[in-house]
Amino acid sequence: MAYQNLREFLRYLDRSGQLVRVRQPVSVDLEMAEITDRTMKLPGGGPALLFERPVLMDGTESDIPVAINIFGSWRRMAAALGVDDVEVHARRIAELIKPEIPKGLWGKVQMLPKLAELARVPPRPFKGRPPCQEVVLREGEFDLTRLPVLKTWPDDGGPFITLPMVITADAETGVQNIGMYRMQVFGPDSTGMHWQQHKGGAGHFRAWKKQRGGRMPVVVAIGGDPATMYTPSAPLPPGIDEFLFGGFLRREPVYTCKALTADLTIPAQAEIVLEGYVDTDEELAIEGPFGDHTGFYTLEDPYPVFHVTTVTMREDPVYPATLVGRPPVEDVYLGGATERMFLPLARLTIPEIVDYHMPPEGVFHNLVFVSIKKEYPGQAFKVMHGLWGMGLMSLAKVIVVVDEWIDVQNTAEAWWYALGNIDPERDVRFTKGPVDDLDHASQIPSFGSKMGIDGTKKWAQEGFVRRWPDLIEMSPEVKAKVDRVWDRLGIEPID
Ligand SMILES: Cc1cc2nc3c(=O)[nH]c(=O)nc-3n(C[C@H](O)[C@H](O)[C@H](O)COP(=O)(O)O)c2cc1C
């Protein structure tokens, strides 16, 4: 079932015991982050939190509650996307992209429900007054520092909006992109706009600067239905509409409306909307530092300034946020959902991939385990180079390839197998390419080296002349026999 907006999702979380309401005043200045970080590090990701009495940086109380960690468990992440398990969507995507021509009439009939489902999902204009525009505040009537925006780590440059949908359009085609890019609140009507250079928003900025110059409209929606709130964090190929993807996940359209001051389409169910522009001719401003999802501070860097000219909101908005920092935090589940749902897309071009996994300690771009069905010599290297050529996967710093029988979701198993199988000089290769802007170790910002590890079993055709040992496995008969008596042996874990 698809939730229509954030408050409906919060009601579900509350009813199902997945939300803790924090009723005492808590400061947005570090205290909320400390409570949230401890919560997120509880087994399974801890509950979602609703801070009902946020205390602002100046010590006054805000009447806008803060919802945080709403995606912070597998159960909540799946529920946000309207399913019990995100694998359901992975299977739907695999079905959708299956390059198969239906055989005969029966095959065509079987495709009809799939087509009907797709016809339902394009975004649809909201009928009546959009909830996100119940209150309209023009220049001089709003002050962004009155929003309960968290400052999360001691050396942060200030408070940062962390769960936004940043909406921009291509200067020529008008095709929209929505990205989740953090925004440092600089003052009452301006923020930073931290779209990294490899991302959609930054591409729009560069194109606009080249083709038109001057002010590029930007609208930021905060809150909405939970599936739509997730989509800007997904690395959709350029030109694929986030609202369409949101509709696919929801199995019903994302309801939209026009922004008041820009020709941009926004989610009608947002809680708060910031409308404005970035001036592509204006000098960039220093953004950061920011305690980032890498577990390190991202140092100050120049980024565009987002000038806010109009704020619209619901009459009683809720402000959603997340906290990033040392893993694991909420982005394990946001990124994890992406990992699962994008596997079929990776397989479309690299079909020998059985599974892949980006463990939390690798913060997505530092480490990727891949298991493959190896059928010819050197295939592990083909796979890693394929991944380094694919969208944001190109930023992966270390890729470890193992054979199909290894469960890469179990990183201990994947490391054990790969480390046992490598002769480092023979099986490790370095190459170069773009690295994530957040990588603090590359010699040059955003450009550095990558390491590929071929942890597969080596073949004679690959020049391996010794005998390769089998993995140790107990015989199935003995296992079955012990299975039958195991419960009677009284062997239990001890402390
Ligand atoms: C909580 C969170 C915060 C993020 N912050 C940023 C950010 O500040 N800058 C950035 O470029 N990407 C950030 N990302 C990653 C992007 O949202 C992600 O790469 C997404 O694919 C970008 O969309 P795009 O491909 O349409 O640009 C963040 C992701 C999450 C989950």
Can you tell me which atom of ligand 1 is nearest the CA of 236? Answer: 25
Side chain identity at 115, as an amino acid letter? L
pTM: 0.96
DSSP reduced 3-state for 284: coil
Q: Would you tell me how many other CB atoms lie within 10 Å of the CB of residue 183?
A: 26
DSSP reduced 3-state for 228: helix
What's the pLDDT score for residue 336? 98
DSSP reduced 3-state for 172: coil
- Going by C-beta distance under 8 Å and a sequence separation of 6 or more, which residues neighbour residue 200? 168, 177, 178, 179, 238
What's the pLDDT score for residue 107? 74
Contact 181, 199 (CB under 8 A): yes
What mean pLDDT value characterizes the chain? 96
In eight-state DSSP terms, residue 400 is E
Contact 185, 144 (CB under 8 A): yes
| Confidence class for position 100, pLDDT limits 50, 70, 90 | confident
Phi-psi label, residue 76: left if phi above 0, alpha if psi -120 to 50, beta otherwise:
alpha
* pLDDT tens digits along 236-276: 988 889 999 999 999 999 999 999 999 999 999 999 999 99
Q: Which two tokens stand for residue 473?
A: 């496995």
| Confidence class for position 120, pLDDT limits 50, 70, 90 | confident
Residue found under tokens 């380094």: 388
Write the residue with the smallest CA distance to atom 7 of ligand 1.
Answer: 181
Nearest to 178, CA basis, from 258, 264, 100, 280: 264
DSSP reduced 3-state for 103: coil
- Ligand 1 midpoint to CA 50 (Å): 24
Phi-psi label, residue 140: left if phi above 0, alpha if psi -120 to 50, beta otherwise:
left
Q: Which two tokens stand for residue 250?
A: 């929801």
Phi-psi label, residue 205: left if phi above 0, alpha if psi -120 to 50, beta otherwise:
alpha
What's the pLDDT score for residue 112? 72
Helices (H), 241-330: 242-250
* Active-site choice (225, 292, 427, 437): 292
CB of residue 291 inside a 6 A radius of ligand 1: no
What's the pLDDT score for residue 233? 98
- Is 170 noted as a catalytic residue in this protein? no
Q: Which residues on neighbouring strands pair with residue 172, listed in sequence order?
A: none
In eight-state DSSP terms, residue 444 is B
What's the pLDDT score for residue 104? 81
Side chain identity at 122, as an amino acid letter? P
* pLDDT tens digits along 315-374: 999 999 999 999 999 999 999 999 999 999 999 999 999 999 999 999 999 999 999 999
CB of residue 235 inside a 6 A radius of ligand 1: yes
Q: Which two tokens stand for residue 413?
A: 């198993």
Q: Indicate the top mutation candidate among 70, 180, 439 to test ligand 1's pocket, ranked by most ligand atoms within 8 A of CB.
A: 180
